[in-house]
A = this chain, B = another copy of it.
Amino acid sequence: MAVDLSPTPDVAELVERTTTFVRDVVIPLEERHGGVARTEDVRTELQRAAKDAGVFAPHVSHRYGGHGLDMRGRAAVFEAAGYSLFGPLALNIAAPDEGNMHMLEAIATEEQQERYLRPLATGEVRSCFAMTEPAPGAGSDPNALATVAEREEGGWRINGHKWFITGADGAAYAICMARTSGTGGGAGATMFLVDADNPGMRLVRHIDTLDESLYGGHLEVLFEDCRVPDDAVLGEVDEGFRYAQVRLGPARMTHCMRWLGIARRSQDIAVARAAEREAFGSRLGELGMVQQMIADNEIDIAASRGLITQACWELDQGRSAAQSTAMAKTFCAEAIWRVVDRSLQICGSLGVSGDVLLSRFLREVRPFRIYDGPSETHRWSIARRVLRRHDTEARR
Contact B349 A290 (CB under 8 A): no
Bound together, the chains give a CA A190 to CA B299 distance in angstroms of 33
Contact B309 A302 (CB under 8 A): no
Give the contacting residue for A292; candidates B211, B288, B354; CB below 8 A.
B288
Find the B residue at minimum CB distance from A296: B379
Give the contacting residue for A3; candidates B5, B307, B387; CB below 8 A.
B5
Closest Cβ of chain B: how far from A164's Cβ, in Å? 5
Find the B residue at minimum CB distance from A208: B354
Is the CB of A352 closer than 8 A to any CB of chain B? Answer: yes
Contacts of A331 in B (CB 8 A): 299, 303
Contacts of A1 in B (CB 8 A): 4, 6, 8-9
Bound together, the chains give a CA A354 to CA B271 distance in angstroms of 33
Interface string of A281-320 (1 = CB under 8 A from B): 0000101111110111011001101110110110000000
Is the CB of A390 closer than 8 A to any CB of chain B? Answer: yes
Bound together, the chains give a CA A350 to CA B291 distance in angstroms of 25
Closest Cβ of chain B: how far from A393's Cβ, in Å? 9
Contact B327 A376 (CB under 8 A): no
Bound together, the chains give a CA A318 to CA B86 distance in angstroms of 37
Contacts of A132 in B (CB 8 A): 349
Contact B7 A390 (CB under 8 A): no
Bound together, the chains give a CA A275 to CA B5 distance in angstroms of 37
Give the contacting residue for A289; candidates B299, B362, B380; CB below 8 A.
B380
**Assuming the A-B contacts A370-B349, A379-B296, are A4 and B313 also in contact, with contact meaning beta carbons closer than 8 angstroms in the complex?**
yes
**Assuming the A-B contacts A7-B3, A294-B386, are A327 and B352 also in contact, with contact meaning beta carbons closer than 8 angstroms in the complex?**
no
Contact A390 B313 (CB under 8 A): no
Contact B349 A272 (CB under 8 A): no
CB contact list, A1-34 vs B, under 8 A: 1-9, 11
Contact A275 B380 (CB under 8 A): no
Is the CB of A107 closer than 8 A to any CB of chain B? Answer: no
Contact A141 B279 (CB under 8 A): yes
New contact pairs (13) apart from A2-B72, A5-B309, A140-B279, CB-CB < 8 Å: A144-B279, A164-B349, A208-B354, A287-B288, A287-B376, A288-B288, A288-B289, A288-B380, A289-B376, A291-B383, A295-B380, A345-B374, A349-B367
